[in-house]
Chains A and B, each alone.
Chain A
Amino acid sequence: MVLGQSEYFKRDLMTPSERLSAYHRGEPVDRLPCVPIVGNTAARVVGTKVSQFRGNGKLLAHAHIEAYRLFQYDIIRIFTDLYTQAEAMGATVHYPEDETAYLEKPALASHGELDQLQPADPYRDGNLPHHLEAMKIAVDKVGKEVTVTGALTCPFTNASFLVGAEQLVRLMLRNPEAVHRLCEISLETNLRYAKAIIDAGCTPSLTDAMSSCTVISPRQFQEFSYPYLKRLIDYIHSRGKSVTLHICGKTNRIWDRMVEAGADCISIDNDADLLEAKEKVGCQVRLMGNVKPSEVMLQGTGDDVRAAVLDCLSKAYDNPKGYIVASGCSLPTETPFRNIHAMLDTVRKVGYPVDPEKLERLSAG
């Protein structure tokens, strides 16, 4: 297999860990941190089928380590899909041979069966032990040079996989108590899994797709998602780890709550605007985002990627609490390698400190 190589001659001078900690301290860096959120594209890097990751921590680790080595991005995230904890609690996940898994059946047919639910044991249930193994291996092999994180699906979103998204949102209005119980038990699983992730030497990376204003209202976020999210983040902080929180879709009306919940960095989708985020919460939180994963990274050309990265940079490079160039969400599996290289190369070319005039010059072609 021939791997696409970075076209740009300039190589990184710092390791990702050196870069992130220097950037955090406000010291000079060689370039801004950059995280194309690589998911199952890692399978393509090592030439394996996506379904091979199931039950195979060694392969999952190998793929993510090699993807990191190929692209040289700044954070590794061990991830296959959003359903690992729900699966460990009884949800049925369908594994196509070579595509990202999806939810086939929620854990419960109806909320009447709520009493049957148990929080998952991360060392025993579903694929969680294999994911933990992958995290451990990755930390052992490259943990000195790069932050290794493990994907964790947050309480409200995980709850949606326990009874089904549509039933969950109906319950919010018809039986709020049931939603709270589902979130509580999801949180218990989350806390156990977060503990196991941190014990493995890794950092949880939080995703909360359903908490988006594309789905629920800011008021509903406050009532059903925020309290559990906050307790989860408090725990992670108590273990000395910082927290990156990704919520998909529209989020501008809950950014302040995401910050209040304790997020140190918020990762925003392309349905949200970086400039607006900088103005509203940039003094309190680091921003990450938001090159379009599908339209630009999957379907666009290298030039499209460069233009999109420069656009993001021009909006957020001077965010008071810092900025990480990233895709708006996990990259589709078939994202061309050249586009991932193009993202990193653009950030290298821009260099540091970011010069707005240079950005304009590069944007003009």
Chain B
Amino acid sequence: MSELKAKLFQDLSDAVVDMDEEKTVETSHRVIDEGIDAYEAIEKGLAHGMDRVGELFDQEEYFIPEVLICSDAMYAGVEVLKPHLKGDEQGEKKKVVIGVIEGDTHDIGKNLVKIMLETSGFDVFDLGRDIPPQQFVDKAKEVGAHIIGLSTLMTTTMDGMREVVRILEETNLREQFKVIVGGGPISQSFADKIGADGYAANAADAVRLARKLVS
């Protein structure tokens, strides 16, 4: 790797960690001006930075506010680089449909998982919050998802998670999708009980779990 290229990637990574949105945008423009590959800049620059953010979050150095602002900086850079991606080089990304189950509007946890999954190379379809179980299944079918990710903070919506699995079973689609669950009241034993494929305690766990399930 040329010295300049290495430096720009490092700058991108640092700017994400430093929550410096202006710098990710400016550096991304520089990447394009220098004729450096946009895909590589995302992978080895912006996403690399977000990985470090994930580690800092794991170590309780960074908390949710920092992660969100870092992701803002990352996405701002991605916006600049995206138009310069060559169509075929992204390869076939694994797809995840994600959302907060109907009856709940707490979505910070879900948003963190989305950010971390995207950074790790998943194609994430975010349904948002307060989503009826059927809609998860419909969307997963529509986009040909590999994984359905269900999030909740309230116990009242846990039945909705069970319902997603039930709909999949009833329509003979259970084998097509991996179902992963997470959120405050959720536990491994609950995931086992409803027949989900996995439980993640936090965003970093969710990425590890997703990778394992599609590998």
Contact = CB atoms under 8 A, between A and B. Distances in A.
Nearest to B62: A217
A185 to B, nearest CB: 20
Interface residues of B, number: 28
Contact of B105 (A103, A295, A299): A103
Contacts of A253: 60
Contacts of A100: 154, 156
B57 to A, nearest CB: 11
A294 B184 CA distance: 9
B63 A217 contact: yes
Interface in B143-197: 154-156, 158, 184-187, 189-190, 193
B91 interface: no
A24 interface: no
B105 A102 contact: yes
A173 B111 contact: no
Interface centre among A172, A253, A293, by most B CB within 10 Å? Answer: A172
Given A165-B108, A332-B156, A170 B65 contact: yes
Nearest to A104: B105
B189 A295 contact: yes
B107 interface: yes
Contacts of B186: 294
Give chain A's interface residue range (CB within 8 Å of chain B).
Answer: 20 to 34
A215 B64 contact: yes
Interface in A247-261: 248-249, 253
Nearest to A50: B156
Interface string B98-135: 00000111111001000000000000000000000000
Contact of A332 (B103, B104, B155): B155
A173 B62 CA distance: 12
Contact of B185 (A94, A102, A174, A332): A332
Interface of A: 94, 96, 99-100, 102-104, 165-166, 169-170, 172-174, 213-217, 220, 248-249, 253, 292-295, 298-299, 332-334
Given A96-B103, A215-B108, A295-B187, 19 more contacts: A96-B156, A102-B103, A102-B104, A102-B154, A165-B106, A166-B68, A166-B108, A166-B111, A169-B68, A170-B65, A170-B69, A172-B65, A216-B63, A217-B60, A253-B60, A294-B158, A299-B189, A299-B190, A333-B155
26 contacts: A96-B103, A104-B105, A165-B106, A166-B68, A169-B64, A170-B65, A172-B65, A216-B63, A217-B60, A220-B65, A248-B184, A292-B187, A293-B155, A293-B185, A294-B184, A294-B185, A294-B186, A294-B187, A295-B187, A295-B190, A298-B155, A299-B189, A299-B193, A332-B155, A333-B155, A333-B156
Kindly list the 5 A-B residue pairs having the minimum CB-CB distance in the complex, ordered from nearest. Answer: A294-B185, A332-B155, A169-B65, A99-B156, A217-B63
